[in-house]
Copies of this chain bind each other. A is one copy, B any other.
Amino acid sequence: MSAPTISDVAKSAGVGKTSVSRFLNGETAALSPPLRARIENAIASLNYRPNQMARGLKRGRTRLVGVLLADLQNPFSVALIQGIEAACRECGLMPMICNAGNEVELENRFLDLLRTYRAEGLLVNPVGLPESALRNVVEGDIPVVLMDRKVEGIACDSVGLDNVSASKMLVTHLAASGFQSVAFVSEAWSSISSRRERESAVLAEARLNGMSVSSLVVDREDEQSIARIIDQMRESATRVRTALVAANGQTMLALALELARRRDVGLPGSDAPVAYRGADAPLGRLGLASFDDPDWAAMMTPGITTLRQPTFDIGARALYLLNDRLDTHAQAVREKASGRGNAASSPADTPRNMSFEAELIVRSSTHAAFALAG
């Protein structure tokens, strides 16, 4: 009827619960072969699965890790999950995936739920707003690893892209391709650390290369705002060779499609004719590059130059870091419980920040395929 318990198995095998438990936990050394066999049979015939809830209750370890993502619609999040799930399998952990849909309220709700289910640790790609309850969680005693974004005043492990190095790579390429001006394009939410890091790094590096710079904000939902940006940049492009740098894949898509749609401006790699102000405008083309390398970047015509993030590795590494903490954390708790608690704070309590190198993928959208007329 209801799910069989360890007692059912014990009864059916004619042994004590303890032995069954030992079998389940691989303490095979302390079990005689005949017993082992009987238990194995009983388990199989009853189709028994140990109750992880009860296990967790007793052991104090649920093997659950909360994975809280700002926005599952972003392919970046999905890519992270691949790495996390693979790493979880290795470590015998179970990810509990939650999508905050860019709402702090939901983020907080899930944070609560995850605590309630006694997740042993959290992997968070935070929405990045100050109202977040994340702060309290980190200050509590459950380990947290931040992914992609850091949060002001929260000190914990984090994994992300080396935005400075990536920006250098990209801007160097743009300069070498003859671009003289760089415009960084992102969505409104500039409280997000990675977006800010990318912006300042790109602009700084561009200035170092003697390029003129600007920073623009779009609203992906609002076609008008995108058209306006393009208008503005098309204007600039009549004077200097200009490249747009999108802060992420979704912004890039919006820009690329608008560029493809229009007739008065285009991308370098495109062979569609550009008609703008008649003869005096060989500069009706805007370069385009982007952080993130979504599927469609390669498929588009022309292909879009991107900085590919090792998303799988970022996710996996985040989990490894967490798993680390889990072990030392459990140990610390055990020690304190047994009375010989050390007043000095945990040994390696300092946050570890890992960053990964991006890979620059050059495609035609930044080709130096056009010459300056003037």
Kindly provide the distance from the CB of A322 to the nearest chain B CB, expressed in whole angstroms: 18
Closest B residue, CB atoms, query A51: B118
Stretch with Cβ within 8 A of B (4 or more), from A155-163, A194-202, A283-291, A296-304: A296-304
A257 interface contact, C-beta 8 A: yes
Asked if A73 CB lies within 8 Å of chain B CBs, one says yes
The chain B residue with its CB closest to the CB of A302 is B261
> Are A2 and B54 in contact, CB atoms less than 8 angstroms apart?
no
| Complex: A62 Cα to B113 Cα, angstroms | 12
Which size bracket describes the interface of A in this complex? 35 or more
A101 and B82 form a contact (CB under 8 A): yes
Residues of B within 8 A of A141 (CB): 1-2
Question: Are B57 and A257 within 8 A (Cβ)?
Answer: no
Asked, given contacts A96-B96, A296-B253, whether A1 binds B336 with beta carbons under 8 Å apart, the answer is: yes
Measured between C-beta atoms, what is the minimum distance from A346 to chain B in Å? 12
Total copies of the chain: 2
A260 at the B interface (CB under 8 A): yes
Chain A interface residues (CB < 8 Å from chain B): 1-3, 47, 49-54, 56-57, 60, 62, 72-73, 75, 78, 81-82, 85, 89, 94, 96-99, 101, 109, 112-113, 115-118, 136, 140-141, 253-254, 257, 260-261, 272, 295-296, 299-301, 333, 336-337, 341
**Given A57-B53, A118-B53, A336-B1: A257 in contact with B299 (beta carbons within 8 A):** yes
Instruction: State in angstroms the CA–CA spacing of A301 and B262 once bound together.
Output: 9
